[in-house]
Copies of this chain bind each other. A is one copy, B any other.
């Protein structure tokens, strides 16, 4: 039996923090008729609410630490406020969304990141093989659209702060066994740029051969390289295609051509 298409789409702060951007994105997203899953990051609102409540972000060597107060804060803000606002908006657009964290239905079990040089606190690392796809599959088959906050749990009653990109790629890989998955990362640029100063220099297609050439030419902006590496890792693990680009253009043509950068094997 041919696999059904599934879109796994990640949005970050540049979409979430701007009400107009978010509205536009959710309109495009709700219009997609294929099976789809949305993963949202947190944006600046957690920091803002943290400051209002006297909870300050802690850093060690420039890395953010998730202490007891911080995990409560992100559970509230990402798992509650941001997640349910998105769900309520999608419902108003007749997209039957359900808001989830990795704890819900035990969909994404994780382990607290082992302490080496730094104790990151309540931060979760995901093992893709432990993801429980059955619940997601049931929801998708019932035309319900899962919307994930960037949170997992450790199975011992602790919520864990988890990178939204990681959640997106982990879900995409785990679901690729049953679905033909296109993983879409919405970010602030229109795609992978040949010239980082020129938004019109989007590279439309990258495969491993092209990537090798681009790397040897030293053309790629440094910040994009880990994103492309992660994309190929997801593809090697079963994901069909990865797309990187700006939210406002990516979804309009989701099934076919896209305005971002298409990455495939």
Residues of A participating in the B interface, judged by any CB pair closer than 8 Å: 49, 52-54, 72, 75-81, 83-85, 87-89, 91-92, 96-101, 103-106, 134-135, 138, 142, 144, 151, 153, 155-159
Contact = CB atoms under 8 A, between A and B. Distances in A.
Contact of A88 (B53, B134, B153): B153
Contacts of A157: 85, 88-89, 91-92
A136 to B, nearest CB: 11
A80 to B, nearest CB: 2
B88 A159 contact: yes
Q: How many copies are assembled?
A: 2
A91 B155 contact: yes
Contact of A80 (B52, B53, B77): B77
B75 A78 contact: no
A75 B85 contact: yes
A102 to B, nearest CB: 10
Nearest to A105: B98
Contact of A87 (B81, B103, B134): B103
A97 B49 CA distance: 28
Contacts of A75: 80-81, 84-85
A106 B99 CA distance: 11
B105 A155 contact: no
A3 to B, nearest CB: 22
Contacts of A96: 105-106
